């Protein structure tokens, strides 16, 4: 599978994502300064499943296919930190009817999340996190509009130290994206909306792993 990253489409989202991170106030004691000044960057690979809703017009079940994901996590400060992450899943939207199923079109599902991370055990690096942000659906079809919806999630895993400036991160996440159950999504001016959503919540689950670099 070849994954293509469209940096032009995502550049403005990276800017919005990093802005609050760069503006975080730093007000700590001298002893804590080294930890607070520490920046952590975690590139990761993952696998995401789930993502089912119903078309109110046809009654078909629409599914986002299970697929690999990739992304980055940024944080600054102590181990209990505020984190900013982006996770991209290139996938397909499929329609499953009573008789047959068919792929509709390719779509990138992108989560932009802010999370509060709480370390439970410093030796093992186990942690839990709460997430808030948006899910951006970007169909790779020129005449269909993209969609952005509010999302909440929870996560947990390990951030196990390997060296002074390096650790291994393994995490599971559950993300709930809130849909407008009375409207259409993936619309175009020429052919209307690809689907009218009957469900109000889209649930996805993701497992990610990567190396955390500390600066």
- The three-state DSSP-derived secondary structure of 5-34 is CCHHHHHHHHHHHHHHHHCCCCCCCHHHHH
State how far the Cα of 204 lies from the Cα of 70, in Å rounded to an integer: 15
Is the model's pLDDT at 185 over the cut of 80?
no
Of 20-34, 42-56, 142-156, least confident by mean pLDDT is: 20-34
Q: In this predicted model, what pLDDT tens digit does every residue of 86-127 receive, in sequence order? A: 999 999 988 876 545 677 889 999 999 999 899 999 888 999
Asked if residue 149 lies in contact with residue 135, where contact means CB atoms within 8 angstroms, the answer is yes
Mean pLDDT across the chain: 81
Q: In this predicted model, what pLDDT tens digit does every residue of 54-92 receive, in sequence order? A: 877 777 788 999 999 999 999 987 667 789 999 999 999
> Which CATH architecture does the domain made up of 37-214 adopt?
Beta Barrel (2.40)
Q: How many CB atoms lie within 10 A of CB 184?
A: 17
Is the model's pLDDT at 163 over the cut of 70?
yes
């Amino acid at each position: 599978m070849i994954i293509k990253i469209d940096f032009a489409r995502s550049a403005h989202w990276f800017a919005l994502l990093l802005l609050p991170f760069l503006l975080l106030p730093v007000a700590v004691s001298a002893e804590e300064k080294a930890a607070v000044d520490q920046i952590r960057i975690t590139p990761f690979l993952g696998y995401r499943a789930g993502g089912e809703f119903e078309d109110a017009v046809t009654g078909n079940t629409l599914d986002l296919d299970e697929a690999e994901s990739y992304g980055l996590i940024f944080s600054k400060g102590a181990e209990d930190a505020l984190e900013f992450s982006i996770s991209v899943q290139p996938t397909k939207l499929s329609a499953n009817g009573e008789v047959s199923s068919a792929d509709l079109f390719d779509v990138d599902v992108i989560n932009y999340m802010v999370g509060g991370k709480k370390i439970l055990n410093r030796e093992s690096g186990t942690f839990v996190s709460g997430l808030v942000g948006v899910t951006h659906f970007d169909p790779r079809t020129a005449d269909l509009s993209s969609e952005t919806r509010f999302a909440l999630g929870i996560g947990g895993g390990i951030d196990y130290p390997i060296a002074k400036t390096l650790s291994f991160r393994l995490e599971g996440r559950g993300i709930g994206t809130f849909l407008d159950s009375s409207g259409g999504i993936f619309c175009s001016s020429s052919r209307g909306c690809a689907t009218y959503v009957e469900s109000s919540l889209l649930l996805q689950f993701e497992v990610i792993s990567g190396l955390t670099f500390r600066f």
